[in-house]
Amino acid sequence: MFNFKGMAAAALAIALMSGSALADEWTKIRVGTEGAYKPFNYIDSDGKLQGFDVEIAQALCDEMKAECTFVAQDWDGIIPALLAKKYDVIIASMSITEERMKQVDFTDKYYNTPARFMAKKGGAITDTSPAGLKGKVLGAQSSTTHSSYLEDNYKDSEIKLYATQDEANADLAAGRVDAVLADSVVTLDWLGSDAGSCCEHIGENYNDEKWFGKGAGMAVRKEDTALKDKLNVALKAILENGKYKEINDKYFPFPVY
Amino acid sequence: MSDTTAGMIAARKPPPQARKRWGAARIAGVGLCAIWVVLGIALVASLFSGYDADVFNRYMPRMIEGLWVTAKLVVLSVSAGAVLALFVALARMSDNWIVSKLAFVYVYAFRGTPLLGQVFLLYYGAGQFVDYLEAAGVWWFFREAYNCVLLTFILNTAAYQAEIFKTSIESIPRGQWEAASSLGLHKAQTFWKIILPQALITALRPLGNEIILMVKSSAVASVVTVFDLMGATKLAFSRTYDFNVYMWAAIIYLMIVETLRRVWAVLERRLTRHLER
């Protein structure tokens, strides 16, 4: 006898089972990244994705015994493409912010690079506290966590805001500003160049969560809690077994976790 | 006295007004107008509904400070530019071809390139030559973004004003020069006392335009860290993500331009009294 309802129910059950089985195992994971944020993720001359994010992702996949494929996606569409299931997780130096948490879920942070002041070499400025920088001219890129931090905490300093980090750097080199607050890792490139040879990092690291967020996390769809948990476990494992440190040391002269 | 209209034919009634029909063009026109009216109402409504007293109290004082910076920039650059422009205009009309070509190249360069590019070039360009400028003892001037912007604005507006002066001076008929000469006035006297006052009447309108353009162009100062009205507005926006601050800034700019427009209307009426019939 042909029982349509029964057939449909059975088909649905099979579909659900296979779906949940796949979700529980996660043996194949597609990783989305940007490929334009050196040294964290970039495309090398052979057209391959490289960088800190990519190597961390690979280490996590090895740890989870999962087969990973990488997808490069423009920054603007990186969350919509995740929601459209073009890949399963974003590992692209994405900061964990309240606004993004409305759309996606984040794993624990996998790195958090602090902000740091840059100033001219020669040690004219050593104290980067608000009292130490009183009356000085400070610079930052506008609309960033760094500019907000300066505005809120350095009220006795003159603050100059620039459209791009490059312009702030140029004015630091020219001596129009005394110190610039920016991401400590992103500015390493400039400090290592000819133009940036005038200057160096000074003072302590700044990573107050109120201004700078919780660091970079991996983003997954809200329903994929199993994948999120798995990634968190694997992250903990590579942090403990030294794999994370190995990758860290390959890219940066200081710990970024 | 007899009625002079008695023998005249009575005036005919005007033809009845043609009834306007609802053609495609009229429907499209009314439709477009309706869209604009709706957009305008929505804009004003959002201004009121989105009003945040907290944001207003925190950032309006900074925007007013920025307004003063803008006002200073415009007044200083337009007036200093006018003085420079007069000499450039004279140089443009000079019989010495080297002088006139030099003036032409100056005007050509400043009118032919964007103000934003000029500001960037002077500000970040000066930053590249710190050592030379320090040796020359002028780095203190170029160190300040405000000075760099002011200098660029003066040079830029002088180029435009020079063209205005040149055309309005040339619009005064040659006969005036000849008449003055026949009265025994020498050239400089003729220029300052006869030609220039008349030329300035012609120049008044385009000069008003130039000032209004300068008020709006001065927003360029904000890209090199000067907190003018636009700079203060950008700062407020980056902290609040409240787009109403841009509306407030637009209203302030509008008020400045409207004030200038009215002042100019009064000036023109006053200066052209003798031409009224």
Q: According to the 3-state scheme, what is the secondary structure of A143-212?
A: CCHHHHHHHHHCCCCEEEEECCHHHHHHHHHHCCCCEEEEECCCCHHHHCCCHHHHEEEEEEEECCHHHH
Please name every residue paired with A180 in a beta bridge, in sequence order, or none if there are none. Answer: A118, A139
Binary contact (A163, B223; C-beta < 8 A) = yes
pLDDT(A22) > 60:
no
Q: Name the residue range of residue A180's domain.
A: 115-210
* C-alpha distances out from residue B12 to B4, B8, B9, B15, Å: 18, 12, 9, 9
> A174, B127 in Cβ contact below 8 A?
yes
| A19 within a domain of the structure (yes/no) | no
Does A170 sit within 8 Å of B127, measured CB to CB? yes
Q: Looking at residue B82, what DSSP letter applies? A: H
Question: How near does any CA of chain B get to the CA of A24, in Å?
Answer: 41
Provide the number of CB pairs (under 8 Å) joining chain A to chain B: 33
The model's pTM is 0.71
Between β-strands A179-183 and A115-120, what pairing exists: parallel, antiparallel or unpaired?
A: antiparallel
Is pLDDT of B217 > 90?
yes
Residue B127: closest C-alpha in chain A = A174
* CATH number of the domain residue A132 falls in: 3.40.190.10
DSSP structure class, residue B193: I
State the average pLDDT over residues B97-110. Answer: 96
User: Higher model confidence: residue A103 or residue A220?
Assistant: A220
* Model pLDDT, residue A207: 82
Rounded-to-integer distance, Cα A149 and Cα A211, Å: 6
Q: Please, are residues A56 and A2 in contact by the beta-carbon 8 Å criterion? A: no
In a domain, A71, yes or no: yes
Q: What ipTM does the predicted assembly reach? A: 0.71
What is the model's pLDDT at position A2?
A: 47
Within 85-144 of A, beta carbons closer than 8 Å to B belong to: 139, 142-143
The answer to the question of residue A48 being in a domain is yes
Please answer yes or no on whether B225 and A170 come within 8 Å at the CB atom: no
Q: Is the peptide bond before B16 cis (omega within 30 degrees of 0)?
A: no
Among A146, A142, A152, A158, residue whose Cα is nearest residue A117: A146
Question: Residue A103 domain-assigned?
Answer: yes
Q: In what order do the strands lie in the sheet with A36-37?
A: A36-37, A41-43, A49-50
Number of domains composing chain A = 2
Q: What is the pLDDT of residue A101?
A: 83
The shortest C-alpha distance from A30 to chain B (Å) reads: 35
Note whether A220 and A88 are within 8 A (CB): yes
Superfamily of domain B60-275 in the CATH hierarchy: MetI-like (1.10.3720.10)
Residue of B nearest to A195 (CA): B128
Q: In degrees rounded to 5, what are phi and psi of residue A232?
A: -65, -40
pLDDT beyond 80 at B2: no
d(CA A112, CA A110): 7
Q: What is the pLDDT of residues A185-223, one digit of tens each?
A: 878 878 988 888 899 999 888 888 778 878 889 999 999
A163 Cα to chain B: minimum distance (Å): 7
Task: Sort out which chain A residues have CB atoms less than 8 A from B143's CB and list them.
Answer: 175-176
SS3 A94: strand
pLDDT tens digit string along B38-71? 999 998 888 888 888 888 898 999 999 999 999 9
Q: Which H or E element spans position A218? A: strand A216-220
Those residues with Cβ within 8 angstroms of residue B123's Cβ, 6 or more apart along the chain or in another chain: B145, B148, B149, B152, B224
Residue type, B203: A
Do residue A206 and residue A238 come from a single domain? no
Q: What is the pLDDT of residue A11?
A: 54
| Kind and range of the H or E run holding B34 | helix B24-49
* Same-domain pairing of A96 and A220: yes
Specify if A9 maps to a domain: no
Domain for residue A108, yes or no?
yes
Pair A136, A107 in one domain: no
B145 touches chain A (CB under 8 A): yes
User: According to the model, what pLDDT value does residue A21 have?
Assistant: 43
Give the span between the Cα atoms of B62 and B221, in whole angstroms: 16
| A19 and B CB contact within 8 Å | no
Residue A143 and residue B238: Cβ atoms within 8 Å?
yes
> CA dist A253 to A185, B13, B250, B257, Å?
10, 97, 49, 56
Phi, then psi, of B172 in degrees rounded to 5: -80, 125
Q: Which residues of B touch A139 (CB under 8 A)?
A: 225
Which among B124, B127, B235 is the nearest to A161, CB-wise? B235
Q: Which of A148, A162, A174 is opposite residue B225, by nearest beta carbon?
A: A162
Residue A176 and residue B234: Cβ atoms within 8 Å? no
Give the whole-angstrom CA distance, residue B161 versus residue B191: 18
Task: Please report the residues numbered 166 through 225 in chain A whose beta carbons come closer than 8 angstroms to any beta carbon of chain B.
Answer: 167, 170-171, 173-176
Most confident of A27-41, A122-136, B171-185: B171-185
Name the residue with tokens 């989870």: A64
Strand, helix or coil at A137? strand
The C-alpha of A143 sits at a distance from chain B's nearest C-alpha, in angstroms, of 5
Instruction: Give yes or no for residue B97 having a pLDDT over 90.
Output: yes
B192 touching chain A per CB within 8 A: no
Does B225 sit within 8 Å of A151, measured CB to CB? no
Percent of chain A with pLDDT over 70: 89
Q: Over range B72-80, report the average pLDDT.
A: 96
Which residues in A lie closer than 8 A to residue B127 (C-beta atoms)? 170-171, 173-174, 176
Distance CA B235, CA A144 (A): 11
Closest Cα in chain A, distance from residue B130 (Å): 6
With CB atoms and an 8 Å threshold, state whether B127 touches A148: no
Instruction: Please tell me which residue, A143 or B142, carries the higher pLDDT value.
Output: B142
Please indicate, yes or no, whether residues A62 and A145 belong to a single structural domain of this protein.
no
- Our CA angle for A79, A85, A86, nearest 5°, is 80
Q: Please say if the pLDDT value at position A16 is more than 70.
A: no
**Alpha-carbon span A40 to A50, nearest angstrom:** 8
Domain-wise residue ranges, chain B: 60-275
Does residue A126 share a domain with residue A102?
A: no
- List the one residue out of B221, B66, B222, B85 whose CA is nearest residue B149: B221
pLDDT: is B10 or A223 the higher one? Answer: A223
SS3 A132: coil
Which of A165-169, B117-121, B192-196, B262-266 shows the lowest per-residue confidence on average (mean pLDDT)?
A165-169
More confident residue, A22 or A172: A172
Q: Is residue A72 part of a domain?
A: yes
Interface contact flag, B239 A161, Cβ < 8 Å = no
Q: Which residues pair with A49 in a beta bridge?
A: A43
Partner A contacted by B133 (CB < 8 A): no
Could B238 and A170 be called an inter-chain contact, meaning their C-beta atoms sit closer than 8 Å? no
A244 touches chain B (CB under 8 A): no
- Provide the pLDDT for residue B5: 62
Instruction: Say yes or no: A120 and A206 in one domain.
Output: yes
- DSSP states of A57-83 as a string? HHHHHHHHT-EEEEEE--GGGHHHHHH
User: Could you give the CA distance from residue A253 to residue A245 in angstroms, rounded to a whole number?
Assistant: 11
Residues A223 and A107 occupy one common structural domain: yes
Mean pLDDT to the nearest integer, A74-83: 82
